[in-house]
């Protein structure tokens, strides 16, 4: 597969969404088979197709005072993104990899499990819940969208995220378990170093070697954004 990589810094959520849509256009046109976008977001709560307003622990108006709130196309429920959390959006043409959404999600989880193993952390899955868990606390949320076998949205891995934001919601609609981060686990690490290691794990599990691109190249590949 031809795999491209874009590394961005702190990007507002809707700008990140625009980058994803451009990547979808580029992949749809056949100019790449996979484009991985990695970044962080300012504080934002996103609500997936499974809903989420019923999982607010504070009034919506109060939530909007501390973070943006957006309804999104991915699967899953409500979650939080913020600084100190590595967000990775893999836009992949599953026709060129494996036409198996469950396997794709499994590979996303596997990349994070391998990343954590490198820090000496034993992580795993819960059969009833998507994502990566350390014990009964989720360290990485996963929510994707798939259209014509092209994926978008992705994963959010907590490095040193301010976890108090999660205290205002039932994250992913899960009431019986909590959330964690590398920092909460006693591992102090620069998010940038974590990002580089995560990119390496993506290369391992998907069997690719990334070529880094910038936003200008993505723009030219997309050939102008348009909605269907």
3-state secondary structure of 101: helix
Residue 55 to residue 52: CA distance in whole angstroms: 5
- How much is the mean pLDDT over the chain? 95
* 53-103 pLDDT tens trace: 999 999 999 999 999 999 999 988 999 999 999 999 999 999 999 999 999
* Number of residues in the chain: 228
pLDDT at 174 > cutoff 60:
yes
Q: With a cut of 60, say whether residue 173 has pLDDT above it.
A: yes
Q: Does pLDDT of 186 surpass 50?
A: yes
Q: Average pLDDT, stretch 28-38?
A: 96
Average pLDDT of 183-208? 98
Q: How confident is the model at residue 49 (pLDDT cuts 50, 70, 90)?
A: confident
Q: Which two tokens stand for residue 148?
A: 């014509």
Specify if 41 maps to a domain.
Answer: yes
Instruction: State residue 75's pLDDT score.
Output: 82
Span 140-144, average pLDDT: 96
Look at residue 143 in the predicted model and tell me its pLDDT: 94
Query: Total structural domains in the chain?
Result: 1
The annotation status of 32 as a binding-site residue, yes or no, is no
pLDDT at 135 over 90: yes
Which pLDDT value is given to residue 52? Answer: 85
Q: Which has the closest alpha carbon to 39: 194, 148, 219?
A: 194
In a domain, 141, yes or no: yes
Catalytic residue among 27, 172, 174, 208: 172
- C-alpha span between 192 and 97 (Å, rounded): 28
74: CATH: 3.30.930.10
Q: 211-220 long-range CB contacts below 8 Å, 24 or more apart?
A: 211/2, 211/3, 211/4, 211/5, 212/4, 212/5, 212/6, 212/7, 213/4, 213/5, 213/6, 213/35, 214/6, 215/6, 215/8, 215/19, 218/6, 218/19, 218/22, 218/23, 218/26, 218/35, 219/22
Q: Is residue 223 assigned to a domain?
A: no
Q: Residue 115: inside a domain, yes or no?
A: yes
61 membership: H or E segment, kind and range: helix 60-66
- The answer to the question of residue 186 being in a domain is yes
The closest alpha carbon to 187, from 154, 214, 212, 160, belongs to 160
pLDDT attached to residue 225: 47
Does 81 count as an annotated binding residue?
A: yes
Task: State the residue range of the domain holding 52.
Answer: 3-217
Q: Is residue 54, in this structure, part of any structural domain at all? A: yes
Separation between Cα atoms, residue 9 and residue 7, nearest integer Å: 7
Rounded Cα distance between 46 and 71, Å, is 6
Residue 177 has pLDDT above 90, yes or no: yes
Q: Give helix then strand counts, H and E, for the chain.
A: 5, 12
Instruction: Tell me the percentage of the chain whose pLDDT exceeds 90.
Output: 90
What confidence category does residue 224 fall into, taking pLDDT thresholds of 50, 70 and 90? low
156 annotated to a ligand binding site:
yes
Q: Is 222 part of any known ligand binding site?
A: no
Would the annotation count 37 as a binding residue?
no
CA atoms in the 13 A half-sphere facing the CB of 154? 28
Nearest one of 21, 15, 19 to 6, comparing CA atoms: 19
Query: Does the structure show a pLDDT above 70 at 227?
Result: no
Query: Is 142 within any annotated ligand binding site?
Result: yes
Element (H, E) at 150: strand 150-158
For residue 222, is it within any domain? no
* 224 domain residue, yes or no: no
Q: Is 172 assigned a catalytic role?
A: yes
């Amino acid at each position: 597969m031809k795999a491209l990589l874009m590394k961005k810094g702190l990007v507002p959520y809707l700008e990140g969404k625009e980058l994803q849509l451009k990547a979808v256009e580029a992949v749809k046109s056949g100019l790449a088979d996979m484009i991985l976008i990695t970044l962080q977001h300012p504080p934002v709560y996103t609500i997936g197709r499974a809903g989420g307003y019923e999982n607010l622990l504070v009034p919506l108006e109060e939530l909007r005072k501390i973070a943006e709130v957006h309804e999104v196309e991915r699967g899953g429920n409500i979650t939080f993104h913020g600084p100190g959390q590595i967000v990775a959006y893999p836009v992949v043409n599953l026709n060129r990899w494996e036409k198996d959404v469950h396997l794709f999600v499994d590979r996303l989880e596997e990349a994070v499990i391998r990343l954590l193993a490198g820090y000496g952390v034993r992580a795993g899955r819960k059969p009833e819940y998507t994502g990566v868990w350390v014990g009964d606390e989720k360290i990485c949320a996963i929510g994707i969208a798939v259209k014509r076998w092209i994926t978008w949205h992705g994963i959010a891995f907590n490095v040193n995220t301010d976890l108090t934001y999660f205290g205002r919601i039932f994250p992913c609609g899960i009431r019986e378990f909590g959330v964690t981060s590398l920092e909460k686990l006693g591992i102090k690490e620069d998010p940038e170093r974590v990002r580089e290691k995560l990119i390496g794990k993506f290369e391992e599990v998907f069997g690719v070697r990334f070529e880094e691109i910038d936003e200008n190249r993505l723009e030219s590949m997309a050939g102008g954004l348009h909605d269907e």
